[in-house]
Amino acid sequence: MLIAIAIARLATEVFSIEQLLKLAGEAAQWAERFPSFDRRSPDEWAEIADLLANRASRLVPGAQCLQRALASRVWLARRGIDAQIVVGFRKRGTLEGHAWLELQLSGGPSTLFKGFEDGYRESFREAAA
């Protein structure tokens, strides 16, 4: 996860958000060809992705929510979990942006890197493959 976040951090310096979302989808499709042999549940994988992404992003200067979402999207795809990157905004004095993942878990739809009451409204999302 640390390497994926570092790569995502570098990519955000070069590519537009549209290009990043397209690249994340393509990288996830590629990662699906090399599945993990560990058979944990999707719920467990989501918890691990959340933990690893948050910890690893502290070690990569400038890494924030978008890098966590990009890296986790690909990381989860390798484990057979389809997720979609969503970007939204809120206005609290200034316009603030945020990126998160949406995925289906055993209990229904879930999100990573987004609280339910944080006030961000979806602006766009990764195009479905």
Q: What is the pLDDT of residues 4-40, one digit of tens each?
A: 999 999 999 999 999 999 999 999 999 999 988 888 9
Residues paired with residue 83 on neighbouring β-strands, in sequence order: 103
Residues 6+ apart with CB under 8 A from 20: 8, 11, 12, 66, 70
Residues 6+ apart with CB under 8 A from 89: 95, 96, 97, 98, 120, 121, 123
Residue 116, pLDDT score: 66
Residue 107, pLDDT score: 86
Q: Please name which of 82, 102, 105 lies closest in space to residue 35, comparing C-alpha atoms.
A: 82
pTM: 0.91
Q: Please name which of 95, 96, 70, 77 lies closest in space to residue 36, comparing C-alpha atoms.
A: 77
Residue 25 dihedral angles phi and psi, to the nearest 5°: -65, -40
Residue 2, pLDDT score: 96
**Contact at 8 Å (CB) between 113 and 50?**
yes
- State which residues of the chain have pLDDT below 50: none
